[in-house]
Structure 1
Amino acid sequence: MKNIFCLLLMILCFNFYCNSQVYFPFKTEDKQSSILAYWYNCKADTAIEAAIQDTVYLHSSLQIYGPVLSDSFYVKAEVYLTNDNEGYSKSFLVKKDLQNIDYTIDMLENYFLLTVPVYQLKNNPEKIKITISSSGENLEKWINCKYHKLYGHIYDFKGNPLKSYILIKSEGFNDISGVWSDASGYYEIYLPERTYNCFYVNDGNYKLSTLEAWAWHMIIDEDQKLDFRIGTGEVYNLNAWSNNGGFGSFFISFRPMVLFKDTSYIQEINNKEFKLLDISPDLDVKDITVTINGKQTEIYTIQKYFESGKDRAMPAYLIQVRRLPPCLGKQTIQVEYEKIIEKDGKKSFQNSMGYFQFYLNFYGFSDFN
């Protein structure tokens, strides 16, 4: 129990430091520097998730960040294509508890995030002008847009191409863009340069015969090829970081989930009772493959722990792997598991994969800047 407590403490400390190193807002007295805008350009489409009777909408979005000037103020966005041709222009009222609007407003301390669905532009914009104005103050900023191509193929675990959709989630879990793959499984989408909370990949059979593939903390600062495989499980809440003072390894934490397993019971952790939901496969080193920037690495250890909240918990895993040279720059971690279960003479497969990205500093330690 003491070892599990140490593992949880280590992971909580890592999450604390990651969450404290945010890109926004920029802690500066210059309010203008904290104005950001991103235009996510994609073809409008839909997807049906039959098992949960839900319709997913793929659409373009505009996100605007900035300082709160007063209880009520206006934000104007002017989006320009090549040769200064205006592609979009609209003003928004920003006010707490505003209702019956076609955009969302999130406020945190003295900053806001405005998200609005928009139509697809014929090209990605080159510049965005944001004006924030109230009765006593006016801020203006020009933003030069920068885009990179995300592309690849989507397969099942037998190597068959899947016509699937990928959803882009910039901050939390709200969809701000997305794209379908074609019949060969190929997809591509151009995204604004930034760090994304996650990408979500679904073949439309969620909770029927498959679950989802995920990519976490994705750093879009160059064109990237990411191939996905969709199976009967998930690599959920994937995190990776460097052992900054020990054995030259990476820590990797994730919570796997699989179809057709749903067990709950009371689990005592640190002399406290938790309601434990167990939808996780029982994994060993032999069931897991980890690659770093496309090269398979050695798994040193795997340890099971409990991801917990106030009174609920779920099984998760912490694995340690060997760092691979060059231990410098961006690291793309891919975690994949596949386990064969035999019951009543029949075989079934529990499998999934996921990505996580982070940067290392010059000495190969986690770079949280």
Structure 2
Amino acid sequence: MKKLIIGSIFVIATLAPNAVSADTITISGTITDKEGQPVSKCDVFFNKEAWITDDSVHVQCDKNGRYSAEIKAGHYNSFYVCDEEEYGKTALEFWGWNLNFTKNQTLDAAFDTLEVYSLSTWASNGGSNSVFGSFRPMSLKKPVYRNLELNGKTIAVMDITPSVDMHSIAGSIDDTPLKLVNYNWTYEKVANCSGAPDDISTENGCYMPMIIAQFEKPQMAAGQHTFKIRLTDAETGNIGEGITHFTSNSKNLGF
């Protein structure tokens, strides 16, 4: 989802050696396209508290898709990668949410024309041996508006979802593939219905389609893990990716 970019509020992550403190870590990696080829241009953002604040760090990748950022260790609200000049025209963003950066690490990413937005994950700690992921799948297609009867009221739906089937949703934990059990659609209420035509009732708010995907839960070691969704448009083959962190205990229960 696009943000207003105001260059003066970004902290450029180019620190002199004597400026690196004990709580500073290095996150680096390679940014690729849907074919796995390095991109020649991209912007990488680390947002610690919210969207864009004084603590945000912005770096750019080189012509081989490589980036490196010096950031403060700790929890980050979001991490995302895009081509700012092409965003919304020919490409969307890679997203990371609710990330806990505690040590130097490699974080590779891919972006294309789809977006795995607002990804969250949780484990079933009793009902089933499952891991769930919820996210808003978005694409560059023109929004389609419709009214829908939901829970006894008429809502407005703004739909920019790609074509999705059981082969579209690939989940992994720490790069180990997960088996998709099922997925279901739900609707996330959003801030407004900007652009809705006059014949669409917006009295009860505007919603966007959201997916809840269920995967078989693997045996995991205690500690932090990275949950990833790679979404593929069933018709075009275009992709989008998102990640988030979560923690498992020694009993394989996730939190």
The TM-score range, normalised by the shorter chain, is 0.7 to 0.9
Equivalent residue for 1:192? 72
Does 2:104 correspond to 1:210?
no
Equivalent residue for 2:125? 244
C-alpha separation in 2, matches of 1:223 and 1:120: 15
Native 8 Å contact 2:34 2:238 kept in 1:
no
Q: Which has the higher contact order (CA 8 A, sep 6+)?
A: 2
- Measure how far apart 1:249 and its partner are: 1.1
- Measure how far apart 1:147 and its partner are: 2.1
Equivalent residue for 1:154? 31
- In structure 1, runs of 5+ residues without a counterpart are 1-50, 62-117, 127-144, 342-347
C-alpha separation in 1, matches of 2:88 and 2:187: 24
Distance 1:172 1:217, change over 3 A: same
Larger Rg: 1
Does 2:11 correspond to 1:60?
yes
Bigger proportion of residues as strand: 1
- Which letter maps to 1:158? E
Residue-pair matches, total = 237
Q: TM-score, normalising length from structure 1? A: 0.60
| SS of residue in 2 equivalent to 1:285 | coil
Match for residue 234 of structure 1 among 102, 111, 115: 115
Q: Where do residues 285-304 of structure 1 align in structure 2 (5 Å cutoff)?
A: 285-304=166-185
Equivalent residue for 1:219? 100
The superposition leaves residues 292-333 of structure 1 with CA deviations (integer Å, 9 ceiling, x where unpaired) of 101111011111111125611110100111122224211101
Distance 1:335 1:165, change over 3 A: same
Match for residue 336 of structure 1 among 230, 233, 241: 230
- In structure 2, runs of 5+ residues without a counterpart are 191-203
Bigger proportion of residues as helix: 1
- Measure how far apart 1:191 and its partner are: 1.6
- Measure how far apart 1:59 and its partner are: 3.6
Distance 1:293 1:53, change over 3 A: closer
Q: TM-score, normalising length from structure 2? A: 0.85
C-alpha separation in 2, matches of 1:261 and 1:318: 23
- Measure how far apart 1:214 and its partner are: 0.6
Native 8 Å contact 1:232 1:349 kept in 2:
no
Match for residue 141 of structure 2 among 260, 271, 276: 260
Equivalent residue for 2:241? 353
Identity %: 26
- Which letter maps to 2:33? D
C-alpha separation in 2, matches of 1:361 and 1:340: 36
